[in-house]
Amino acid sequence: MRQARSSGRPLAKRQGRFHHGDLRWALLQAATQLLDRDGSAGVGLRAIARLAGVSQAAPYRHFADRESILAVLAENGLLALGDRMAAAAARASDPAAALAAIGEAYVAHAVERPHLYRLLFGPEVADKARYPAVRDAGHRAMQVLVDAIAAGQRAGVVRAGDPAELAIAHWAAVHGIAQLIIDGVVAERIAASGGPAAVARLVVRQAWEGLTPRPAR
Amino acid sequence: MRQARSSGRPLAKRQGRFHHGDLRWALLQAATQLLDRDGSAGVGLRAIARLAGVSQAAPYRHFADRESILAVLAENGLLALGDRMAAAAARASDPAAALAAIGEAYVAHAVERPHLYRLLFGPEVADKARYPAVRDAGHRAMQVLVDAIAAGQRAGVVRAGDPAELAIAHWAAVHGIAQLIIDGVVAERIAASGGPAAVARLVVRQAWEGLTPRPAR
DNA sequence: GCCAGCAAGTTGACGCTGTCAACTTGAAAC
DNA sequence: GTTTCAAGTTGACAGCGTCAACTTGCTGGC
């Protein structure tokens, strides 16, 4: 898990300090486990508390309500997604390869943890005004893509235009195929093409055509 | 609502025939209303029954469980989406315009009824094996896009290749921007660009570049 | 015209959920 | 060593999906 334990104090001083130690951390761990196994519907306050070995009302000492827990999971998930995209871009040798790598990393993230991915954008934590941290984490991930497109423009392999605008269209393609894959809509195609990564590459390549400079026709 | 009343018999003979008349139809109407207002979380058996003016257990005479009601809503929604895409394509004057019209109709449908749209692909009715009608309705909508791409190929404005493969990538872009719009992720861009339709056009145009034949570079 | 049969709808209950108020526990600060 | 207060527990409430048992009232067969 990305997030540090909830306090900056030395761990040794916290261990066994209170009834539980660091219940907030344990609850998030339990919630993550339930989310990956049963989807967001399985992430219930009581289920989390049971898994953490505390009473049903204990989570209310650390979270306002169920939605707040889901919001923290979403925030962490978006930060991890942004990190993974940035790492993929950093490994690539040139701007074109970086954009492809970002797209494939994005889809891979969604495929590996579909329930988490659905939570990132779904309606469970829809009220962005209530959770600005979630929105900021999303913007951070988006910025990785915008930066990669701007770099492509500087290298002359991406056509001119507002990078943010180009990024939205490109993101839509990658986001869309990720959704279609994890929702099982293109399951037959995946079986025929040899795995979700192959389908993702297909889409990323086609979306790339929309970014390249067009010669006059 | 697309679906006809549940029986083929003359309506006059059904009116007031049983305790309620046509409760199945009334329940679906109530469920649709709740879905559009409160999202799928608001579509509860008891809420539906209250809105239809019957007792909490009455719906079980017509639906196996809550998920079955959602599945019918999803099926109807997918059929309506397919119809709308087909109508948009039929109105267009040439294959290129048809593809653009399909994309814009698709996004418009999602924007007008976001809760329904989320239900169409979301995990609430994920078990496609249990509801083959839902899967078939989805395939029917997808086929409209495949046909439009095949027509574009015959007219020489879409590049060669498996139409189903090209359709998946194009669909991903349209599906993705629809999701991003209704999830409020690109809200700022929408405000800046003058409405969701403008953003949708942007994406459709960029995705279109991925479909056109490429001159040798 | 009556009666049996059966689909349609009701009532009441079960265990589950999120949430809250009232209570107890135990570490820390003076 | 006492006080204080955060942390965790207990018990309760309303609402949920679902089911078994019961009632209602239309319909087809005599």
The reply to whether A202 touches chain B by the CB within 8 Å rule is: yes
Looking at residue A127, its pLDDT comes to 80
> Does the pLDDT value for residue A6 go beyond 60?
no
| Closest nucleotide over all strands to A49 (CA to C1') | D8
Query: Do B46 and B59 contact (CB within 8 A), yes or no?
Result: no
The reply to whether B136 touches chain A by the CB within 8 Å rule is: no
Distance A62 CA to C21 C1' (A): 17
| CA B170/CA B48 separation, integer angstroms | 37
Looking at residue A214, its pLDDT comes to 74
Looking at residue B127, its pLDDT comes to 79
Comparing A7-21, A28-42, A79-93, B82-96, the range with the smallest average pLDDT is A7-21
The reply to whether B188 touches chain A by the CB within 8 Å rule is: no
Contacts (Cβ under 8 Å, ≥6 apart) of B18? none
In the stretch 54-113 of chain A, residues with CB closer than 8 A to chain B read none
Looking at residue A45, its pLDDT comes to 98
Q: Per the CB < 8 Å rule, is B202 touching A165? A: yes
B14 pLDDT tier (thresholds 50, 70, 90): very low
Looking at residue B43, its pLDDT comes to 97
The reply to whether A189 touches chain B by the CB within 8 Å rule is: yes
Comparing A45-49, A129-133, A139-143, the range with the smallest average pLDDT is A129-133
Q: Which nucleotides of D are covered by protein (CB under 7 A)?
A: 6-12, 15-21, 24-27
Distance A17 CA to C7 C1' (A): 64
- Provide, as residue numbers in chain B, all residues whose Cβ is less than 8 Å from the Cβ of A186: 168
Q: Which of B41, B166, B203 sits opposite A172 (nearest CB)?
A: B203
Tally the residues of chain B. 217
Burial of B140 (0-12, 13-18, 19+ CB in 10 A): middle
Residue A195: helix, strand or coil by DSSP? coil
> Does the pLDDT value for residue A43 go beyond 50?
yes
Looking at residue A19, its pLDDT comes to 61
Burial of A5 (0-12, 13-18, 19+ CB in 10 A): middle
Q: Per the CB < 8 Å rule, is A126 touching B183? A: yes
Indicate which of A81, A125, A206 best probes the interface with B, i.e. most B CBs within 10 Å of its own CB: A206
The whole-number average pLDDT for the span A136-157 is 97
| CA B32/CA B52 separation, integer angstroms | 12
Cα dist. A96→A93, A156, B27, B73, B169 in Å? Answer: 9, 10, 53, 43, 19
Distance A171 CA to C2 C1' (A): 73
Comparing A23-32, A57-66, B3-12, B139-148, the range with the smallest average pLDDT is B3-12
| CA A195/CA A187 separation, integer angstroms | 9
Looking at residue A195, its pLDDT comes to 95
| CA B79/CA B67 separation, integer angstroms | 18
The share of chain B scoring above pLDDT 70, in percent, equals 89
B16 pLDDT tier (thresholds 50, 70, 90): very low
pLDDT in tens, B101-133: 999 999 999 999 999 999 999 989 877 788 999
- Provide, as residue numbers in chain B, all residues whose Cβ is less than 8 Å from the Cβ of A173: 169, 172-173, 176, 207
Looking at residue A216, its pLDDT comes to 58
Q: Per the CB < 8 Å rule, is B175 touching A179? A: yes
